[in-house]
Amino acid sequence: MGRAISMNGKKIGRWTVMGRNPVSTSSGDARWDCICDCGNKSTVRGGTLRNGESKSCGCASSEMLAENSYKHGYYGTYQYQAWSSIKQWCYNKSHRAYHSYGGRGIKMYYRWKDDPVAFCEWLDRFLGPRPEGHSLDRINNDGDYEPRNLRWADAKTQRENQRTSK
């Protein structure tokens, strides 16, 4: 491993680098303690700072989503949260759950992928309000998030439908 190039005090996107973290990644990459313009502090891998992959703590994306989603009235609802989560699980390789969804080839129905309104309206129209104690579940756990494969299910039903219980 070569010596890490100092990034102290550098401004990268919304991050300001405060100093090197004494703990490197398992592969020996430098990590840097940073503060975001919004006030959140985090330790960020040097490579993601240098290549521009990490520009903020996530507040920039959240603000953009919030700004765009207020227009349709679903922001803050269960339906919108479900759409947002599914999209992250299926397409964000950095998300901790990606390996269980997108990493296994599970996708989101093409008409919903970039259109939260289409997803939310479908959910309202075909599945109706979320029953107490239920959440969205894929009927076929190996299938995509698509109209024929979604239902409301309680925790017991979802546990029985997990890959680990088969």
Q: Which residues contact 6 (CB under 8 A, 6 or more apart)?
A: 20
pTM metric for this prediction: 0.57
Q: Where are the domains of the chain?
A: 11-50, 61-165
| pLDDT-derived band at 165, boundaries 50, 70, 90 | very low
The CA–CA distances, whole Å, from 69 to 65, 66, 87, 124 equal 6, 5, 15, 17
CB atoms < 10 A from the CB of 90, how many?
21
Q: Which of 160, 136, 159, 162 is nearest to 149 (CA)?
A: 136
Structure tokens at 46: 């040097």
* Single-letter residue type at 121: E
Burial class of residue 101 (count of CB atoms within 10 Å of its CB; 0-12, 13-18, 19+): buried
Query: pLDDT tens across 78-131, in order?
Result: 999 999 999 999 999 999 999 999 999 999 999 999 999 999 999 999 999 999
Query: pLDDT tens across 48-83, in order?
Result: 888 888 888 877 776 666 665 556 778 788 999 999
